[in-house]
Amino acid sequence: MLNKYLRLRQLCLVARELAPVEEDLCAVFGVHVCHRDPEVGQFGLHNALMPFGTSFVEVVAPLREGTNAGRYLERRKGDGGYMVILDSESLERWRTHVDAIGVRIAAPLAVGDYEGLQLHPRDTGGALLEVNSTLNGADLQGPYWPAGPHWRDAVSQQRVEGITGAALQSVDPSALAERWSRILQRPAERDSAGWRLSLDQATLRFIAPRDDRGEGLAGIELAVRDAKAIRGTAESRGLLTDSDGVFVGGVHFALHSIS
């Protein structure tokens, strides 16, 4: 029997132009592009994927008019967070579960040894939520199809150790937390910062709006080794910073220094 797991494996940003956000992410966090997925072309997009430790930040951008991503950019008034992507040992239990609770599958995905379920955003709220599975993907150093076959060769952790969480903003964080709790079968808990939901190696947080852009993926939390270098590069590139972190691609990256 496979050991069950549910991990925050990938966070996706959407941008009007791919190159500027990709370049900012690589420069600020000292990361490298590991893969460009031709499969996203079927959605009218192009992309870049970068490993942050054993998890990933992806940026997608429209190649033509009339894409879902383009409409999302308009709705949220520019570049920002787009998708929360989890990986699991198998999708069969998730198909059965989401069907039982009335959450629709917006797009089933299957390529080779990989399959995924993109859930309908009207049923999830917060962000586009995907659960995927790659054959023999239980090892965090092992295969992860969306990142390409050679993702480990691109890993650089001089500045960033990895992703520790994500923040979803909503006018009703408690309701959104309860909805995601029901979908992901993990308890929503209250703490001093608001509501949170723990995955196997990361935390999803549900927060009050930080801006007027509506509900969405507002933040990514990082364990970092060199916060000073991250801030310095961000400022040199004209990006906003605050006491907690830096803003890249319309998303706040919170910096948590590790010893």
pLDDT in tens, 11-56: 999 999 999 999 999 999 999 999 999 888 888 999 999 999 999 9
Q: Which two tokens stand for residue 27?
A: 């420069």
pLDDT reading at 1 higher than 60: no
Average pLDDT for 180-195: 94
Average pLDDT for 115-125: 96
DSSP assignment of 227-252 equals HHHHHHHHHHTT--B-SSEEEETTEE
User: How does residue 118 score in pLDDT terms, banded at 50, 70 and 90?
Assistant: very high
Average pLDDT value over all residues in the chain: 95
pLDDT in tens, 63-111: 999 898 999 999 999 999 999 999 999 999 999 999 999 999 998 989 8
Buried b (16+ CB within 10 A) or exposed e, 8-35: bbbbbbbbeebeebbebbebbbbbebbb
CA pair distance 195, 174, nearest whole angstrom: 6
- pTM for the complete prediction? 0.96
